[in-house]
Structure 1
Amino acid sequence: MTQIDYYLFPLSPFTYLAGTKLEEIAQKHGASVNYKPFDLFRVFAEHGTQPPGKRHPSRQSYRLQEIARIARMNNLPVNPQPLHWPTDPKRAAAAIIYAQEFAHEHSRGDVGKLSFEILSACWAREQDIAREDVIETCLTAAGFDAGIAQRDLQSALDIYERNTDEALAANVFGAPTYVHGNEVFWGQDRLPYLDAHLAVTG
């Protein structure tokens, strides 16, 4: 089975705006998705990219317009300036990492749904994804045991840092990014390109 490495950041609006289209594409082509939460701000620092709050006002304004436009096009609720952004993404990343391990071991739970639930909590439901109770609710909604949120944080953070190292090695510079072999697809608007690529390569 072919694999898509999915580099996601739990605080990224554009990762949220992708919805569940990646999972639909993967199912269509019989591909598996390897969820790799990573530290986008560390990648920004490595690449010399300013975080959103430090960019030129014209870019900040355009970003807000784009978030609202894309949300309308995809019929997704969104607050372009959510109450709890930025916040600490580590607990959310750890939940996705542990949930993926759990899903592989027990063949239950939906990691794609969990990722979208966490992103929706931030960008649509005005919830703080740094809170354990918020993550527990997302886990339950995706078919996982809420206790995953209480597992040792440090072990997951080691994987989070390793994912970031691998993102840098794979020429990832933003989120969401989808990698298949040597092909890198950056942004939710490149999902049709990934779909077309998988149709040819399998």
Structure 2
Amino acid sequence: MSRSVLYYFAPQSPWTYLGHARLAALLRQSRREVSVLPADLGKVFPVSGGLPLPKRAPQRQAYRLVELKRFAEHLGVPLNVQPRYFPVDGNPAALLITAVQQRDGTDAAMALAGAILAACWAQERDIANEGTLLELLAECDLPDERLDQSREAGTQARYDANTQAAIDAGIFGAPTYIVDGEMFWGQDRLDFVARKLGL
């Protein structure tokens, strides 16, 4: 069995944002590797019973805002519960993270993912905008050409493979962590992830 923690997420997910830094800290403490696996929730939801946010019942949408505020305050994480650029297409950012993972490795992909998540949920930036993505590459000391490479067929194929792997694993939302074959859905399950990692 792989020693790598499988990390399935969407870069436009506030729950992924709330858990990202904590997951990174757990990985450092446990000295475990991670597979950075952005996936397309637009393809995951239809086969898993999920709905995109605008199609959810008003009660669910309202409670989501309560929970986001509650968790952000509890964790001490800055969060705009209704950011200026949301809903937003997460695919360009996901493809960019995928391109960086392929060429610069896991640490760079994790750093870029964290920067993209914060850009959306704390900094009121449009993560579907080419200019914003170029700024984020620069802020992470990554080369501009990664943006062009994110549009290549090989990058799309890897992103599609991540998405299919998520579907095959029975994943239905983001973030999802798989540790030694056991699935944990949601940043509010990171305490259980820590126990599974022996922390």
TM-score range, shorter chain: over 0.9
CA distance in 1, matches of 2:104, 2:3: 18
Instruction: Name the structure 1 match of 2:41.
Output: 40
SS of corresponding position for 1:199:
coil
Instruction: Name the structure 1 match of 2:157.
Output: 158
**Offset, 1:65:** 0.7
Instruction: Name the structure 1 match of 2:168.
Output: 169
**Offset, 1:181:** 2.8
Instruction: Name the structure 1 match of 2:198.
Output: 199
CA contact (8 A) 1:20 1:113 kept: no
Instruction: Name the structure 2 match of 1:114.
Output: 112
Deviation by residue 1:113-157 (Cα, 9 ceiling, x = unmatched) = 211110111111111111122112222222322321122513222
Deviation larger for 148-157 or 80-89: 148-157
SS of corresponding position for 2:197:
helix
CA contact (8 A) 2:83 2:121 kept: yes
Using the size of structure 2 for normalisation, the TM-score is 0.92
CA distance in 1, matches of 2:150, 2:101: 15
CA distance in 2, matches of 1:67, 1:8: 17
The one of the two structures with greater contact order (alpha-carbon pairs below 8 A, sep at least 6) is 2
Deviation larger for 144-153 or 32-41: 144-153
CA distance in 2, matches of 1:148, 1:129: 15
**How is 1:16-55 mapped onto 2 (pairs within 5 angstroms)?**
16-55=17-56
**Offset, 1:185:** 0.7
SS of corresponding position for 1:18:
helix
Instruction: Name the structure 2 match of 1:7.
Output: 8
Percent identity among equivalent residues? Answer: 36
Q: Please tell me the residue identity of whatever aligns with 1:166.
A: A
The 1:178–1:152 alpha-carbon spacing in structure 2 relative to 1, beyond 3 Å, is closer
The 1:152–1:29 alpha-carbon spacing in structure 2 relative to 1, beyond 3 Å, is closer
**Offset, 1:191:** 1.0
CA distance in 1, matches of 2:27, 2:181: 17
Instruction: Name the structure 1 match of 2:187.
Output: 188
CA distance in 1, matches of 2:165, 2:180: 13
Instruction: Name the structure 2 match of 1:73.
Output: 74
CA distance in 2, matches of 1:79, 1:18: 15
CA distance in 2, matches of 1:195, 1:49: 27
Q: Please tell me the residue identity of whatever aligns with 2:185.
A: W
Deviation larger for 48-57 or 184-193: 48-57
Q: Please tell me the residue identity of whatever aligns with 1:74.
A: L
CA distance in 1, matches of 2:138, 2:198: 34
Using the size of structure 1 for normalisation, the TM-score is 0.91
Unaligned stretches of 5+ residues in structure 2:
none
CA distance in 1, matches of 2:48, 2:142: 36
Question: Which residue of 129, 138, 141 maps to 2:139?
Answer: 141
Unaligned stretches of 5+ residues in structure 1:
none
